[in-house]
Structure formats: structure tokens, C-alpha cells
């Protein structure tokens, strides 16, 4: 066999010699072309974390990541028990809604079980209701004449004074609570009726929202028809706020009107027949004031004030 040189290629005459090649094969690929290397050919820094699908800063512990070039949704903290809800994470605030927002394994653990069934009572929960059909289950202080007649609680002692009937057990302090009652006036010489709460029989103290019979037989209020909120001690009530709402239509002779008071933090809402009469910011005395011990207020002069269908509730 004879060899000849043609340029740099060796040609075999009478046989075959494989020429050299400068193109790498797949088996001899450079390190920079492998998935686990940087562009410089060096191994990439290891990256690990967890996928955070809801972008709340915490990943799903069952969805780990390890490798190069982590996507934006990978974070370095885990513990999210619902990675589809951005309001659920280990740093979320627990709400009363049947959901474990803070991922600690407890549901609504910061809220009260008012009904004693082992489950927190979320939303509006009735504390107590009274229809006075079985007599007067309440106590009273002040020079009043409280009595149940035909299923209605009446207070009808003549004279200018303040008196409170109350249910002798406390329902604690809540940010959001409400009290409702049907009220009717009889006779002509009437004065204040009202809803009381945070009652202390020991020193005869309480907070009350009071409404005046707007017939104004005494000419005491000009114009007639007042609603106020008062802090009372014994028979002396200090007016915190008052509103003049003449001609609103709560005057009645033997016709019941439904009044409601709602305290929500620093707001106080008064409703008559379901409509909002007042919605105001209240002084610190009222905020987080009750309901505590529930009550009813009267300052009757001659006719009489009747109360029925009394209910109190809280919301959490």
C-alpha cells in the first residue's frame, strides 16, 4: 500500500484511513452545554426552595424545587397550607370563618364558642331573647314600677326619674354587638324610653340610648323628638351626644315600634323599624363597652312605657 499527502489529508491508496475531525460528538460535549453548568463551564450554585403559587411569600411544602435558574414563583420559605389562597399563610391573621388562615392546625381558635357545641360561632349569634310571656325574669333599680301585663314589660310610675330593669348575668365585652326591642308609649305625659347595657347594679351605672316621646307635652325639648346616648350613675345621666330628629314618627299610643342599637367598635347605629336613624362615631366610653349586663331604661312621667321582644346578639 502506498500513501500520498494531499494537503493535510492523508489518503490511503489501496486501503482506508479515517481522517481526524475537530467537531465534538455528543459523548464529548463541553461542560457548558450540560443542564447543571453555568455559561462559563463551571457547575451552577445549587438552588432549592418551594413553589409559591399564590404569591404570599410562603411555598407549599409538598412542592419543592432543586436545580439551576429557579423560577420567580419559587421562595425560600414553606408552610403554606393552602397555596391557592393568598390570604392563607403562616403569618396570616385568623378570621372567624371555618378556615385555618394561619396554618397552625387550628380552626377559629381565637374566637368564642357561644353555643357550647365545640365550634366557634362565626357571624351573628343570638345571646338571649325575652318575650316576657312568663313574667319578669329581671331585676330593677331606681324608683320604677316594672311589671309584666299580658306578655309586655311595662314601666308606669309617675314622676321624673330614671330606672333600669336588667337581666342579672353578663355577656362579656365584644367589639360588635346589638340590642333590639319593641317599644310603645301609653297616655300623654311620657318622657324617655331606652336600651341600656354595661349595667352595674352595685353602683346603678349603665350606658343607654334613649329616645323621647316627641309629643312634647312638657315643652322640655325644642324641637321635640330627641335621641341621645348617655352615661348614667344612679339617677343622674350625663349626655354624651344628642340628636334632634323632629317628626321622625316614633310617637305611638299602644302601637309598638321596633328600636335597635348596634355598637361596632367606635361606631353606634340606631335603627327604627329597620331603618337607620343615626350612624355616628362614639366617645371612648361607648367603644368596647358591652353588652355586659343587658337592660332597659325608662324615665316615664305619667302614661307608661311598654317593652316586648327583647333580643341581644354579638358578631365575631
CATH of residue 152's domain is 2.60.120.560
Whether residue 145 is found in the same domain as residue 216: yes
d(C-alpha 152, C-alpha 106), whole Å:
45
**Containing structural domain, residue 225:** 126-315
Which residues, at least 6 apart from 88, have a Cβ–Cβ distance to it below 8 Å? 54, 56, 80, 81, 82, 99, 100, 101, 103
**302 Cα distance to chain centroid:** 43
pLDDT score of 25: 43
In a domain, 24, yes or no: no
Worst-scoring range by mean pLDDT, 12-26, 135-149, 221-235, 286-300? 12-26
- Percent of the chain exceeding pLDDT 90 equals 46
CA dihedral 124, 128, 129, 132 (to 10 degrees): -170
Whether residue 223 is found in the same domain as residue 269: yes
Whether residue 106 is found in the same domain as residue 163: no
pTM for the structure as a whole: 0.72
For 45-67, the pLDDT digits (tens) are 888 999 999 999 999 999 999 98
Residue after which a domain boundary falls, among 110, 138, 157: 110
Whether residue 104 is found in the same domain as residue 139: no
pLDDT score of 70: 86
Whether residue 204 is found in the same domain as residue 277: yes
Tally of domains in the chain:
2
pLDDT score of 201: 94
Q: What is the DSSP string of 104-134?
A: SS-SSTTS--SSSSSS---SEEEEEEE--TT
Q: Is the pLDDT of residue 27 over 50?
A: no
In a domain, 179, yes or no: yes
Give the mean pLDDT of 205-211.
Answer: 94
In a domain, 6, yes or no: no
Worst-scoring range by mean pLDDT, 39-48, 109-118, 259-268, 296-305? 39-48
Phi and psi (nearest 5°) for 135? 100, -170
The residues pairing with 25 across neighbouring beta strands, listed in sequence order, are none
Whether residue 94 is found in the same domain as residue 143: no
- How many helices and strands (H and E) does the chain possess? 0, 20
Whether residue 264 is found in the same domain as residue 134: yes
Whether residue 148 is found in the same domain as residue 295: yes
Whether residue 171 is found in the same domain as residue 93: no
In a domain, 56, yes or no: yes
pLDDT score of 224: 65
Worst-scoring range by mean pLDDT, 163-177, 216-230, 302-316? 216-230
Whether residue 97 is found in the same domain as residue 148: no
Q: Is the pLDDT of residue 102 over 90?
A: yes
Whether residue 148 is found in the same domain as residue 233: yes
Give the mean pLDDT of 264-273.
Answer: 92
In a domain, 201, yes or no: yes
In a domain, 202, yes or no: yes
In a domain, 200, yes or no: yes
At 40, the pLDDT band (50, 70, 90 cuts) reads low
Q: Is the pLDDT of residue 245 over 90?
A: no
d(C-alpha 109, C-alpha 232), whole Å:
36
Q: Is the pLDDT of residue 76 over 80?
A: yes
How far is residue 101 from each of residues 50, 86, 105, 106, 119, measured CA to CA in Å? 19, 10, 9, 9, 16
pLDDT score of 86: 95
In a domain, 267, yes or no: yes
Whether residue 94 is found in the same domain as residue 175: no
Amino acid at each position: 500500500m502506498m500513501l500520498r499527502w494531499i494537503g493535510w489529508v492523508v489518503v490511503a491508496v489501496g486501503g482506508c484511513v479515517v481522517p481526524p475531525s475537530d467537531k465534538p460528538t455528543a459523548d464529548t460535549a463541553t461542560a457548558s452545554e450540560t443542564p447543571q453548568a453555568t455559561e462559563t463551564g463551571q457547575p451552577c450554585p445549587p438552588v432549592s426552595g418551594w413553589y409559591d403559587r399564590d404569591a404570599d411569600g410562603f411555598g407549599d411544602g409538598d412542592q419543592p424545587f432543586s436545580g439551576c435558574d429557579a423560577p420567580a414563583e419559587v421562595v425560600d420559605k414553606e408552610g403554606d397550607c393552602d397555596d391557592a389562597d393568598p390570604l392563607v399563610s403562616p403569618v396570616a391573621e385568623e378570621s372567624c370563618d371555618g378556615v385555618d388562615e394561619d396554618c397552625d392546625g387550628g380552626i377559629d381558635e381565637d374566637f368564642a364558642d357561644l353555643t357550647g357545641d365545640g365550634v366557634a360561632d362565626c357571624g351573628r349569634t343570638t345571646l338571649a331573647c325575652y318575650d316576657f310571656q312568663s313574667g319578669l325574669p329581671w331585676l330593677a333599680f331606681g324608683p320604677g314600677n316594672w311589671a309584666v301585663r299580658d306578655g309586655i314589660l311595662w314601666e308606669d310610675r309617675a314622676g321624673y326619674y330614671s330606672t333600669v330593669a336588667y337581666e342579672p348575668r353578663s355577656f362579656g365585652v365584644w367589639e360588635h354587638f346589638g340590642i333590639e326591642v319593641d317599644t310603645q308609649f301609653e297616655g300623654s305625659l311620657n318622657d324617655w324610653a331606652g336600651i341600656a347595657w354595661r349595667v352595674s347594679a352595685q353602683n346603678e351605672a349603665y350606658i343607654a340610648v334613649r329616645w323621647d316621646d316627641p309629643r312634647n307635652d312638657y315643652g322640655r325639648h325644642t324641637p321635640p323628638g330627641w335621641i341621645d346616648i348617655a352615661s348614667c350613675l344612679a339617677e343622674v345621666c350625663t349626655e354624651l351626644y344628642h340628636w334632634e330628629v323632629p317628626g321622625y314618627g316614633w310617637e305611638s299610643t299602644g302601637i309598638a315600634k321596633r328600636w335597635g342599637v348596634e355598637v361596632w367598635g367606635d361606631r353606634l347605629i340606631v335603627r327604627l323599624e329597620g331603618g337607620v336613624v343615626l350612624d355616628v362615631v362614639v366617645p371612648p366610653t361607648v367603644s368596647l363597652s358591652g353588652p355586659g349586663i343587658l337592660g332597659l331604661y325608662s324615665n316615664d312621667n305619667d302614661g307608661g312605657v311598654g317593652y316586648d321582644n327583647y333580643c341581644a346578639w354579638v358578631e365575631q
